[in-house]
Chain A
């Protein structure tokens, strides 16, 4: 049998196979951060499809830490019953559930009513969209460290199987780690050691709160490569610095490192693939009031040949390197430096590729988002002996471009017999959780 279906131990957590659903969801919850049945339907769909574990979509530990409204929060004890129900429903399918604890910092696609302005390590607005922010005080940092610890405690009380700290992709932890963002002069900025202080404090606080026998993962952008978004931006952290951070994280009590890329979201390497400018234009309009540079971006999306140039620049790295396994070099570097398991994301959807990278020691398990969105039953297909699903993910990124305004689902019409079939698949999340094969 393929190594894909060999169990793996992540610290205290045993997984039945090597496929984990990465954090992925639409704006399925209530504006106030309370969870809904739609979110249950969404996550249960992947549990039924056979993944060993699900990492929740980003769950803010504080209301001010929302990326966009419409995602379930884990900021108060009265959220616990919802997550308990979610755990119960996912466990029914022999699948583990890991909550991704997040604070978006300044990286908020849509600000909310309560907090129009985000917080960050800096007071400079985010360079791509121009999201405004206030600089966190040391007291504010301590509060957020505690908010992460309380989020983890709630996850444990809800009967979930672990937590993952969102530390990559441009969220608040990245804003501290990143040399391209963090401009502090105090204990939390400057040297790598100082920039890593905030995440390490979070890890220790969580460990102190939940004990040693509860899974604690850390997701980190090993290469930040901000210059791949716009060439005039500073590059940010590179593999040498990030590997050192991973060593410190391991010492502080992290059970696994989850490798991703880019100090912004989205980024040409995450999710790697195409830049569907037309779809983005239809959805990005929602963000115009969120930042000082959004109107510029929107005009670029609307204006040929600027849109084409942006698209070309965006797609350059993946055209050069390929998509499936694009983060493997970074994963290998981390794996060589730490003793804990490494999870790697980035376009995986071919059984032989996944088995190969695990056997080669590049990582211990893979995390998948878009390819599972296209084929929620991908693990079952692998178990049946298929190397690839009949209609694989095309990495078109239309799912990403649509999620702000429309229900998350696969928007690649070429994968469906008709547009109607595509719509039916997208809307099926509201009616329980039939797999695409059951609705087609």
Chain B
């Protein structure tokens, strides 16, 4: 079976394509389109970079004092040791 993959329909398949869950025939059609389409090649590059850019921009470190106060809070809530 052949599918008529345009940029728009290819984009809708992109996550499945990159995760390797597309049926083989559909994957081959997407491959064929992407190989010949510089716009899709550029779109996919930026689509793949987006999670990393967002991840690195939203790194939050647990402040040490918050870790300490969490443990103190949990100990207080739990009360004296069981058993």
Q: Are A and B physically bound partners?
A: no
Chain B residues proximal to chain A, CB less than 8 Å? none
Chain A residues proximal to chain B, CB less than 8 Å? none
